[in-house]
């Protein structure tokens, strides 16, 4: 009797323990691996021969000169959520249709969520200079922050180490470390006015302005033209001004005074 009871109980306990040890993201990790394998198969396929093209060769010739596409921008976000666990859930539910390569928690833990060479869905509709598909050329970094609070020391320390790694690995230009609001000024405000862009720029991650005391602004200076040269989409010039001021002046107003123009001119000159 007892032997029969334990014969039924023990296998059940083993299955229960194994399922518990899988962790809360077992299903999403499994989905990740499945999708990655499918993309790997696509990449490994021989170049297609387009039979619909008149004169197309029946075979193919593989070039020996190629490599992986690499990211050229880093876009920094705040999560606008209340914890890393909340963000992990958001990024592992198919229905949300949003993701990022990295998440940085308040205690400084960096969670890598997607291979850098793969395309995350973090930027959405946006534009920077002539680039209109930001997701295809960037790495997205989400920092755990609700948008109304300062970032923690451990977060910024971890971010700086991560940015150093990414910049070296992919030779990303200093000017190409920007915020979500910079590429989508009509939709987004992150990482907002509390983000320490000046500290990042001191390490070579983003542009910053110098002493503008003796800088002379030309009479014909155009704010809109300067913003366009820097990279901003100026279809909504008011939104572009606000995004610029959030980034460089920790101010979200649309008013541009003489001091603001000097900063704008200096950043424009550094962008050319």
CA dist 169 and 71 (Å) reads: 10
Mean pLDDT of the chain: 91
CA pair distance 18, 152, nearest whole angstrom: 37
pLDDT band, very low/low/confident/very high, at 69 (cuts 50, 70, 90):
confident
Would you state the pLDDT for residue 50? 58
What does the pLDDT read at residue 23? 85
Pairwise pLDDT comparison (173 vs 45), residue with the higher score = 173
Query: Which residue did the predictor score with more confidence, 255 or 19?
Result: 255
**Which of 61-75, 84-98, 171-185, 201-215 is predicted with the least confidence, judged by mean pLDDT?**
61-75
For the cut 80, the answer to whether the pLDDT of residue 12 exceeds it is no
Residue 51 clears pLDDT 70, i.e. is over it: no
- Give helix 223-230 / helix 258-271 axis angle, nearest 10°: 40
Give residue 47's pLDDT.
75
Q: Identify the pLDDT of residue 239.
A: 98
Interatomic CA distance for residues 126 and 151, integer angstroms: 25
Task: Decide if 263 contacts 206 (C-beta within 8 A).
Answer: no
Asked if 169 and 136 count as a contact pair (C-beta separation under 8 A), the reply is: no
Query: What is the arithmetic mean of pLDDT over 70-93?
Result: 97
Averaged over 92-103, what is the pLDDT? 97
Token pair, residue 245, equals 């001021």
**69-208 has which fold?**
Lysozyme-like (3.40.80)
What is residue 54's predicted lDDT score, i.e. its pLDDT? Answer: 75
Residue 190 has pLDDT above 80, yes or no: yes
Q: Please give the pLDDT value at position 4.
A: 54
| DSSP-derived secondary structure letter, 7 | H
The tokens for 145 are 């922050």
Nearest to residue 183, comparing CAs of 137, 224, 127? Answer: 127
Mean pLDDT value across residues 236-254: 97
Q: Is the predicted pLDDT of residue 172 greater than 90, yes or no?
A: yes
Q: How far apart are CA 112 and CA 74, in angstroms?
A: 14
% of residues, the chain, pLDDT over 70? 90
Which is more confident, 127 or 12?
A: 127
What is the pLDDT, as a whole number, of residue 17?
Answer: 44
Query: pTM value?
Result: 0.90
Q: Is there a contact between 247 and 263 (Cβ–Cβ < 8 Å)?
A: no
* Average confidence (pLDDT) over 163-192: 98
Residues serving a catalytic function are 142
Q: If you average pLDDT over residues 76-80, what whole number do you get? A: 98
* CATH 3.40.80.10 domain residues, the chain: 69-208
List of residues 6+ apart from 162 with CB closer than 8 A:
102, 104, 110, 141
- Tell me how far apart the alpha carbons of residues 61 and 266 are, in angstroms, rounded to a whole number: 50
Q: Which pLDDT score, from 0 to 100, does residue 224 have?
A: 98
């Amino acid at each position: 009797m007892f032997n029969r009871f334990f014969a039924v109980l023990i296998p059940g306990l083993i299955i229960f323990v194994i399922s518990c040890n899988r962790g809360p993201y077992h299903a999403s990790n499994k989905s990740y691996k499945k999708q990655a394998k499918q993309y790997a198969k696509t990449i490994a396929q021989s170049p297609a021969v387009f039979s619909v093209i008149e004169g197309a060769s029946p075979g193919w010739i593989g070039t020996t000169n190629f490599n992986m596409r690499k990211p050229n921008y880093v876009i920094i976000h705040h999560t606008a959520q209340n914890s890393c666990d909340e963000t992990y859930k958001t990024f592992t539910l198919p229905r949300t249709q949003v993701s990022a390569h990295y998440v940085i928690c308040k205690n400084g833990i960096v969670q890598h969520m997607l291979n850098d060479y793969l395309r995350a869905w973090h930027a959405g509709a946006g534009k920077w200079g002539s680039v209109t598909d930001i997701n295809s050329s960037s790495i997205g970094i989400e920092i755990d922050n609700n948008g109304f609070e300062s970032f923690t020391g451990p977060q910024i320390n971890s971010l700086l180490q991560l940015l150093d790694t990414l910049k070296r690995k992919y030779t990303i230009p200093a000017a190409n470390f920007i915020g979500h609001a910079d590429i989508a000024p009509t939709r987004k405000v992150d990482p907002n006015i509390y983000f320490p862009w000046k500290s990042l720029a001191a390490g070579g991650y983003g542009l910053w302005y110098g002493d503008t005391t003796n800088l002379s602004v030309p009479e014909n200076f155009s704010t809109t033209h300067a913003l366009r040269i820097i990279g901003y989409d100026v279809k909504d010039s008011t939104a572009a001004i606000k995004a610029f001021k959030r980034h460089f002046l920790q101010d979200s107003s649309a008013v541009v005074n003489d001091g603001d123009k000097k900063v704008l001119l200096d950043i424009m000159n550094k962008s050319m």
